[in-house]
Amino acid sequence: MQNISESGRVSYVAADPLKKIGWFKKIIFWILVLVDAINVLVLSIPNWITSVYHCVISPPRKCIKGQTVLITGGGNGIGKALAYKLAEKGCNIAIADIEWNAAQATAKDLQAKNVIAKAYHVDVADVDQIKELKKNIETDIAPVDILINNAALIPLLSLREGSEMEIERIVRVNITSHFYMTRAFLPGMILRKLGHIVGISSITAVHPMPGAVIYSATKFAVNGFIQALYQELRQEGNDFINLTSVLPYFVSTRKDLTEAVNLRFPMMSAEEVAEVTVDAMLRNEQIVSVPRYNLLLSAFLNTLSLPNQCLIRDYVFKEREARQVFYKEKESSNAD
User: In angstroms, rounded to a whole number, what is the distance separating the alpha carbons of residues 171 and 33?
Assistant: 40
Is 202 known to be catalytic?
A: yes
User: In angstroms, rounded to a whole number, what is the distance separating the alpha carbons of residues 117 and 91?
Assistant: 9
User: In angstroms, rounded to a whole number, what is the distance separating the alpha carbons of residues 132 and 149?
Assistant: 17
- Give the angle 277-283-288 at the CA atoms, nearest 5°: 45
Please return the burial class of 44, using the count of CB atoms within 10 Å of its CB with bins 0-12, 13-18 and 19+.
exposed
* DSSP assignment of 273-323: HHHHHHHHHHTT-SEEEESTHHHHHHHHHTTS-HHHHHHHHHHTS-HHHHH
Which of 177, 201, 202, 245 does the annotation list as catalytic? 202
Alpha helices in 44-122 (DSSP H): 45-56, 77-88, 100-111
**Termini Cα distance of the chain:** 55
For residue 118, the 8-state DSSP code is E
Which of 80, 219, 230, 245 does the annotation list as catalytic? 219
Residue 270 Cα distances to 81, 301, 317, angstroms: 6, 26, 22
Which of 215, 245, 249, 289 does the annotation list as catalytic? 215
Is 53 known to be catalytic?
A: no
Please return the burial class of 113, using the count of CB atoms within 10 Å of its CB with bins 0-12, 13-18 and 19+.
middle
Is 249 known to be catalytic?
A: no
- Residue 213's closest CA among 73, 78, 323? 323
User: In angstroms, rounded to a whole number, what is the distance separating the alpha carbons of residues 34 and 325?
Assistant: 54
CA quadruple 216, 252, 274, 89: dihedral sign: positive
Name the residues annotated as catalytic: 202, 215, 219
